[in-house]
Chain A
Amino acid sequence: MKFSALFLAAAGLCAEPTHRLFVSNEAGDSLTVIDSRTGKVEKTVAVGDRPRGIGLSPDRSRVYVALGNENAIAVVDTRSLDVVKKIPAGSDPEAFAVHGDGTIYLSNEDAGSATALDPDSGKILAEIEVGIEPEGVGIGPDGKQVLVTSESTNMVHVISAADKKVTANVLVGARPREVAFSPDGKYFWVTSEVAGEVAKVDRATNKIAAVNKRLRREINRRVKPKGILLSPDGKRLYVSLGRGNAIAVLNPDTLAIEAVVPAGSRVWGLALSRDGTRLYAANGLDSNLSVIDTLALKEIGKLPTGEMPWGVALDD
């Protein structure tokens, strides 16, 4: 067991991807596994109670799922689809990001803390005090900074990965949800759900460099920005709009709206294919995923999921 994990880790990029889409279903207590090439559901895994945050290990041999009501992270083998183990992860884990060194940084929503967890040993490396209702987690490209948003405190906390301490705090629009870094690590973007805005923050100064507060006015009044991803070429930001039922495509520098792609009801979690041509978006109230062609900028299909899909991860 240990050997095979090591072997896969060493094999790194040589490991053949499974091309599977993994979807956490918050109300379905399940993980939907879909072959991204055929669109067929391969399996529905009963993963545990209230699955939300989802992400792959650096070697892509494991998919991790945060189980809010079990205070644990489920570890699922991406090939066998077995639930290998559940790791205690502090109170009410919601969202997380996986560091290149394998450490999981996660937010504990009702404890006002972030936890650094080693998934191999199951050891909690640090508990970091942050604001109220911590949510989105992001890791800079060089692995030195971890960002955690706190929804009720309206902040992004910058945490040093080396000593696991908060080094800076940025006040942003009400109810910050998720973050995305630029490939050079100089900027990050953050969605604010209640403020209805997307901000670009300069990491050198920790100040807001640009903000778009017009999404609700220009798209529709139900817009609540949630998920955010940067395209692999760095030229587009994709933002899921919750009950705005669409994906906004923004210019990463000016944050101007370049396109609005209709999706399903209460669209949240996003995943992009490695080549950037396909965007997958979880429609929470429709129990499906929108498949979006990013060249044509339109939805080309829907894939069924379990009840209330929350997040998406793609192993390609």
Chain B
Amino acid sequence: MIVCCLSAAEFRFQYVGAEGGSAWKGLQLGIEEANVQGKFLDTTFTLAAGGAVAVFADKPGSIEKIGAAADGRPVLNLSDGADALRARCADNILHVIPSDRMKRDAAAQWKRKDPAAAGVSAGGWSPAAVKFSARDLNKRYTKRFGEPMDEYAWAGWFAARAVADTLMRNPGADSAKLLQLLKEDEFDGQKGDPHSFRKNGQLRQPLVIVSADGKLLGEAPVRGVASDLDSLGATSCE
């Protein structure tokens, strides 16, 4: 039997969490956009629990349990920022949402640059972001859901696109191979520098800096203070 790139392929994604939240919505948009890519190469991506190659989890507090039950399949954490999760380095858990420490480090970098800044915080995404085609992604999300895109929505979108893009390039990959490829590859998050997963499963990514009243101030790593994405958060297991 000849199995080749020209035969139609279907990949299933499993979602664990409450439906209708922003992570779930972002995941929907990500799957829809993956299917735009898939249409040109005869590949489809659907949400289904049975036979899924990867698990997308929006369940803070339960990520490790979900990881343990996933039978080695990649579990993409969309919403739990707990540092302890990153420290324990479960082999099949990939954290798309930034860790709490990444956000603290990013805000501290901003305060090094602007010591008078009060109440600044950092996050994975801002609906006001425009650079690096962030404007385009914000437009697409708002058009689809009629509301601004937040960091959980971004995490859902990114997770679906990264997994789908990897499968598109490696159509024969099973979930073990997929996990390995996700750990090796680089991805476009529509916020500049390429994103990749650290040894501790955390997605290496730029963050946005937001003022106390919600205004977008800039990005981290904060230029002039740090340049390396690994200046944000822990890079290895404890």
Binding site for B on A (CB under 8 A): 109-110, 112, 131-133, 151-155, 157, 166, 169, 171, 174-175, 194-196, 221
Which residue of B136, B165, B194, B227 is within 8 Å of A109 (Cβ)?
B136
In the complex, chain B residues whose CB is within 8 Å of the CB of A221: 227
| Nearest A residue to B168, CB-CB | A171
Extra pairs beyond A153-B33, A171-B169, A195-B188 (20, CB < 8 Å): A110-B136, A132-B37, A133-B133, A133-B136, A152-B136, A152-B190, A154-B37, A154-B188, A157-B40, A166-B40, A169-B40, A171-B168, A174-B165, A174-B186, A174-B194, A175-B188, A194-B192, A194-B193, A195-B186, A196-B194
A166–B133 alpha-carbon span in the complex (Å): 25
**Chain B interface residue count: which class?**
20 to 34
Closest A residue, CB atoms, query B190: A152
Out of A109, A110, A152, A171, name the residue touching B188 (CB < 8 Å): A152
Identity of the chain A residue whose Cβ is nearest the Cβ of B161 in the assembled complex: A152
| B133 x A151 contact (CB < 8 A) | yes
Asked if residues A153 and B188 are in contact (CB atoms below 8 Å), the reply is no
Q: Is the CB of B187 within 8 A of A132?
A: no
Q: A175 CA to B227 CA in the complex, in Å?
A: 22
Q: How many A-B residue pairs have CB under 8 A?
A: 53
Please measure, in the bound complex, the distance between the C-alpha atom of A1 and the C-alpha atom of B114, giving whole angstroms.
60
Given A154-B165, A171-B41, A171-B169, A132 and B186 contact (CB-CB distance below 8 Å): no
Q: Smallest distance from the beta carbon of A131 to chain B beta carbons, Å?
A: 6
Most interface-central of A131, A132, A155, A166 (chain B CB within 10 A): A132
Q: A175 contacts which chain B residues (CB < 8 A)?
A: 133, 188
In angstroms, Cα B34 to Cα A171, docked, is 13
Chain B residue nearest to A213 (CB atoms) is B186
- 6 A-B pairs (CB sep. < 8 Å): A112-B36, A132-B33, A132-B36, A133-B133, A152-B137, A174-B187
Residues of chain A within 8 A (CB-CB) of B139 are 110
A109 to B, closest residue via Cβ? B136
Residues in A neighbouring B136, C-beta threshold 8 A: 109-110, 133, 152
Closest 4 CB pairs of A and B: A174-B188, A169-B40, A194-B188, A153-B37
For the complex formed, measure the closest distance between the CB of B191 and the CB atoms of chain A, giving whole angstroms: 10
Residues of B within 8 A of A (CB): 33, 36-37, 40-41, 133, 136-137, 139-140, 165, 168-169, 186-188, 190, 192-194, 227
Chain B residues near A154 (CB-CB < 8 A): 37, 165, 188
Contacts of A171 in B (CB 8 A): 41, 168-169
B187 touches A153 (CB 8 A): no
Residues in B neighbouring A155, C-beta threshold 8 A = 37, 40
Contacts of B194 in A (CB 8 A): 174, 194-196
Q: What residues on A are CB-neighbors of B192 within 8 Å? A: 194
Determine whether the beta carbon of A131 is less than 8 Å from that of B41. Answer: no
Which chain A positions have C-beta within 8 A of B193?
194
CA distance A110 to B144 in the complex (A): 13
Give min CB distance, A290 to chain B, whole Å. Answer: 23
Residues of A within 8 A of B40 (CB): 131, 153, 155, 157, 166, 169
Complex Cα gap A1–B194 (Å): 51
Q: B139 CB to closest chain A CB, in angstroms?
A: 6
Q: Give the CA-CA distance A154 to B136 in the complex, in Å.
A: 15
Q: A174-B194, A195-B194 are in contact. Are A153 and B133 (CB under 8 A)?
A: no
Which residues of the partner chain B approach A151 to less than 8 Å between Cβ atoms?
Answer: 133
Chain B residues near A196: list those with CB within 8 A: 194
- A195–B187 alpha-carbon span in the complex (Å): 8
Q: Chain A residues near B36 (CB, 8 Å)? A: 112, 131-132, 153
Q: Which residues of A contact B169 (CB under 8 A)?
A: 171
Nearest Cβ on chain A to B6's Cβ, whole angstroms = 12
CB distance from A182 to the nearest CB of B (A): 24
Chain A residues within 8 Å of B165, by CB = 154, 174
Which residues does chain B contribute within 8 Å of A132, judged by CB atoms? 33, 36-37, 140
A166-B41 Cα distance, complex, nearest whole Å: 12
B187 → chain A, closest Cβ, in Å? 7
CA distance A154 to B36 in the complex (A): 11
B137: chain A residues at CB < 8 Å are: 152
Within the complex, what minimum Cβ distance (angstroms) separates A156 from chain B?
A: 10
Kindly list chain A residues whose C-beta atoms are within 8 Å of the C-beta of B41.
169, 171
Of chain B, the residue at the smallest CB distance from A193 is B188
Tell me the complex Cα distance, A132–B40, Å: 12
Complex-state Cα separation, A109 to B36, whole angstroms: 15
B-side contacts of A166, CB under 8 Å: 40
Query: Considering the chains assembled together, what is the distance between the CA atoms of A171 and B170 in angstroms?
Result: 11
Cα(A247)–Cα(B33), bound, Å? 33
- Give CA–CA (A54, B137) in the complex, Å: 25
Smallest CB separation, B156 vs chain A (Å): 16
A224 to chain B, nearest CB (A): 9
Nearest chain-A residue to B191 (Cβ)?
A194
Residues of B within 8 A of A110 (CB): 136, 139
Known interface pairs A169-B40, A194-B194, A221-B227; A152-B133 also in contact (CB < 8 Å): yes
Q: Judge whether A131 and B37 touch: CB under 8 Å.
A: yes
Cβ–Cβ < 8 Å partners of B133 in chain A: 133, 151-152, 175
